[in-house]
Chain A
Amino acid sequence: EVQVVESGGGLVQIGESLRLSCAASGLTVSTNHMSWVRQAPGKGLDWISVIYSGGNSHYADSVKGRFTVSRDNSLNTVYLHMNNVRHDDTAVYYCAREGYYNFESWGQGTLVTVSS
């Protein structure tokens, strides 16, 4: 069974950094495209980044230059490094395995709250 579990969320101050983790089982992150999607409180979903099986990555304009995605193949884990966080980064962050032009499997999410 495919499972992804996010962790690392919490309360962070404006301008600080945080690292989110996405631990996978039942799939190999190095052979899959893995995305991060966030959901601000009471709002819709918002795609923010992807790391492809080949190692390339892409970002939404809202996080470009501040967030970086990486992975550790030995731990079968994907990371989202969040730097210089802003108030509007407050959201539940989901890790999702991409299927063929869709998001096949999602984790339960981890909440990031940015305070001043």
Chain B
Amino acid sequence: QSALTQPRSVSGSPGQSVTISCTGTSSDVGGYNYVSWYQQRPGKAPKLMIYNVSKRPSGVPDRFSGSKSGNTASLTISGLQAEDEADYFCCSYAGSYIYWVFGGGTKLTVL
């Protein structure tokens, strides 16, 4: 069982928006602004999409955005495209003993 809780699946039609939630505790998500999100296509390595809750690395479309409220972080993908279909994982720093915790992943289906 993963430390952070994500919905198993979400779906949306092209052009729509979807939001994926990531719920932790005050010891991880709620305690630090170090939540990151990763996209993983089948058989591929994870790719950093969002870091420090809401920052986008160079090259990531601005359709991807992140936010946090209390112990829950969220990834929103607007203007869905077929290429966005993938698994998405959240991750949070959890202090200098546990270090990093991940969510179980959410499968995004573009209908």
**Chain A residues at the B interface, C-beta cutoff of 8 Å:** 35, 37, 43-47, 50, 58, 60, 94, 96, 99-109
Q: Per a CB cutoff under 8 Å, which of B47, B51, B99, B103 touches A50?
A: B99
When C-beta atoms are compared, the residue in chain B nearest to A108 turns out to be B45
Residues from chain A with a CB closer than 8 A to the CB of B32 are 101
Q: Is the CB of B34 within 8 A of A47?
A: no
Q: State whether the Cβ of B64 lies closer than 8 Å to any Cβ in chain A.
A: no
Known contacts A94-B45, A99-B48; 18 further A-B pairs (Cβ under 8 A):
A35-B100, A43-B104, A44-B102, A44-B105, A45-B105, A46-B102, A47-B91, A60-B98, A100-B51, A101-B34, A101-B93, A102-B36, A102-B91, A103-B48, A103-B91, A106-B46, A106-B47, A108-B44
Interface size for chain B: under 10, 10 to 19, 20 to 34, or 35 or more residues?
20 to 34
Chain A residues, CB < 8 A from B48? 99, 102-105
How many A-B Cβ pairs are below 8 Å? 60
Decide if B89 touches A101 in the complex (CB within 8 Å): no
- B105: A residues at CB distance < 8 A: 44-45
